[in-house]
Amino acid sequence: MEERTLGGTGLRVSTLGLGTLTWARDTDEHTATELLRDFVEAGGTLVDTAASYGDGAAEALLGALLGTVVAREDVVLCTKGGVRRTRNGPVVDASRGALLDSLDGSLARLGTDHVDLFLVQAPDPGTSLAETAGALRHVLSSGRARYVGLSNHPGWQTARLGSLLGPDVLAAVQVEYSLLQRGVEREAVPAAADLGAGLLAWSPLGRGVLTGKYRRTVPADSRAASAHLAGFVEPYLGRTSGPVVEALATAADGLERTPLEVALAWVLGRPGVTCALLGARTAGQLRPALDLDLDLPAQIVAALDEISAPDLGYPERR
């Protein structure tokens, strides 16, 4: 598997990352072991998790596999903080205390003294960006994390926090990015590029819709048929996604490839993208992506760009 440097840093990560959102819930220990072993054996390095995934259970499961299934030094660990659990459900909290407490809990569950990359998981309207920036500087100076970044933040917040941290500090911006979600191209992607931050694209397969498995029906074993994940997939099952999925399938047929391969190749070909994060729930879902070796012809890229182009208004389009 190819490796790329993360933005302007010296950190090298695999072009495909392993996501752990479903670990310890839909993905049990046996399957997680298969996923992690197959991923690392194929040359994968970046493993993405978060303190909020399963209220820490995903991190705990990953931590139990490090040192037994794969060596800690063979993976690039990325975790996220800034979402804490309360009696009334999850609450976004990117304050200094919340971020540091979250990271300390993550390190304990992962069984390590540092993560390679720590991200603020979501924007917090109740905390100033200056305070969040101060917490990230402390995370770096204390050695808890080697690099820091943001997840799911709009472009203006990315730019502002980057300026507060100083030149070349913000290493990564993690955003949803696929043929079905290109809104980040308006401001988030340019902001990351201006700061020299690498893009980590989550859900590059359009929450599974770009694999083509929903073209005719909803498979009984799919996320869209799951009680707790159906709402996650449903926004991409409407009429607007249909033409994109069909164009992708046509391109895949012409190249004698699968829609999954073409969708991933498209994302990895976008400017600034360092890594595409795969949230496979089973080893069978992951394996077809591990041998990806596809450079899309310019004509295919242009056709897919056109049919999936995001709507632009003022001031992006004048």
Catalytic residue among 53, 147, 177, 214: 53
Nearest to 77 by CA among 112, 53, 122: 112
- d(Cα 263, Cα 304) in Å, to the nearest integer? 9
For 297-303, the CB contacts below 8 A with 24+ separation are 297/255, 300/251, 300/254, 300/255, 300/262, 301/266, 301/269, 303/247, 303/251
Structure tokens at 312: 């632009």
CA dist 17 → 12, 102, 293 (Å)? 12, 22, 15
314 is catalytic: no
- Neighbouring residues of 306: CB distance < 8 A, sequence distance ≥ 6: none
Structure tokens at 33: 């072991």
Q: Which residues are catalytic?
A: 53
